[in-house]
Structure 1
Amino acid sequence: MSQVKESIEVDVPVRTAYNQWTQFETFPQFMDGVESVEKVDDILTHWVTRIGGVDREFDAEITEQIPDERVSWVTVGGESDQSGVVTFHPIDPTHTEVTLRMDFDPDGLAETVADKLGFIDRKIAGDLKRFKTFIEERGTTGA
């Protein structure tokens, strides 16, 4: 099992950052390779991804959700074996640190090599940078 952990500071209050992150259907707007995310029910989401030419579909179950603090998940079924948590820490009333930690099991040689070369870490860091741009452009009332 491999792990990646990345953090970023966003220039919005913690409530805004958390509320936007839990709008799972917007993930394709800032997560590279995510084609769609559908909220199936209160704890289950269905993902369609295309990363490095590899198409995947899987479900993710929310295992813990504490408003304005954290969302944890684990994949169920499908072709992806991962779990993770995103946490939200207020820095001050208008700034939030968002930290994403994922544990995943690389599938096959290409994913193992990508993991060892740091491509996965850079992808997650890029997703967080795009989230920062996405949410800051929307502002505190857009989420």
Structure 2
Amino acid sequence: MSMVKESVDVAVPLHTAYNQWTLFEEFPRFMEGVDSVTQLDDRHNHWRTSIGGVTREFDTEIVDQKPDERIAWRTVDGEVDQKGVVSFQQIDQGHTRVAMAIDFRPEGIAEKTADVTGMVDRRVKGDLKRFKEYIEERGREEGGWRGRISPG
């Protein structure tokens, strides 16, 4: 397994950052290589991604959630093997630190090449930077399915 850890500080309140992150179907707006995310129910999502010209589909399950603090997931079916957590820490009333840690097993040639060349690290860093731009531009959570994940 390979590990990627990145964080970004966003200029929005904690609750706003957390709520936006729970709108999984909005991920393609700021995550490179994420073609679509379909929320199946409170705890499951179906992903379609592209990396190095290779398309992968997989399902994830939310395995731990504490509102305004963290969301942890793992893949349960499909062509990707990963688990991760995104955490939210209040810096002050108007700023939040968003940290992501992903453990993944590169399966195909494209994934192994992306891992070895640091493309996965750069992609995650870029995704968090784009999340920052996305949420700060709006100043509030927006879009997507409004169902919330039930706190396990």
Which band: TM-score by shorter chain?
A: over 0.9
Aligned residues: 143
Match of 2:69?
69
Q: Distance in 2 between matches of 1:25 and 1:63?
A: 18
Q: Which one-letter code corresponds to 2:7 in the other structure? A: S
Report Cα offsets for 1:98-118 as digits up to 9, x if no partner.
001000001133322321221
Q: Which one-letter code corresponds to 2:55 in the other structure? A: D
Structure 2: 5+ residue stretches without partners: 144-152
TM-score, normalising length from structure 2? Answer: 0.90
**Which secondary structure does the structure 1 equivalent of 2:135 belong to?**
helix
Cα RMSD after superposing both structures? 1.2
Match of 2:97?
97
Kindly tell me: are residues 110 and 52 of structure 1, through their superposed partners in 2, closer, same or farther at Cα, counting changes over 3 Å? closer
Match of 2:85?
85
**Which secondary structure does the structure 2 equivalent of 1:28 belong to?**
helix
**Which secondary structure does the structure 2 equivalent of 1:64 belong to?**
strand
Q: Which moved more, 1:43-52 or 1:95-104?
A: 43-52
Contact 2:48 2:55 survives alignment (8 Å) = yes
Match of 2:55?
55
Kindly tell me: are residues 104 and 141 of structure 1, through their superposed partners in 2, closer, same or farther at Cα, counting changes over 3 Å? closer
Q: Distance in 1 between matches of 2:140 and 2:114?
A: 36
Work out the percentage of aligned pairs sharing the same amino acid.
59
Report Cα offsets for 1:14-68 as digits up to 9, x if no partner.
0000000000010000000111111101100011111211111110000011100
**Which secondary structure does the structure 2 equivalent of 1:41 belong to?**
coil
Report Cα offsets for 1:48-98 as digits up to 9, x if no partner.
111211111110000011100000000011000000000000000100000
Q: Distance in 1 between matches of 2:67 and 2:38?
A: 20
Q: Which moved more, 1:104-113 or 1:1-10?
A: 104-113
Q: Distance in 2 between matches of 1:43 and 1:110?
A: 29
**Which secondary structure does the structure 1 equivalent of 2:140 belong to?**
coil
Q: Distance in 1 between matches of 2:33 and 2:18?
A: 22
Match of 1:110?
110
Structure-to-structure mapping, 1:4-15, within 5 angstroms: 4-15=4-15
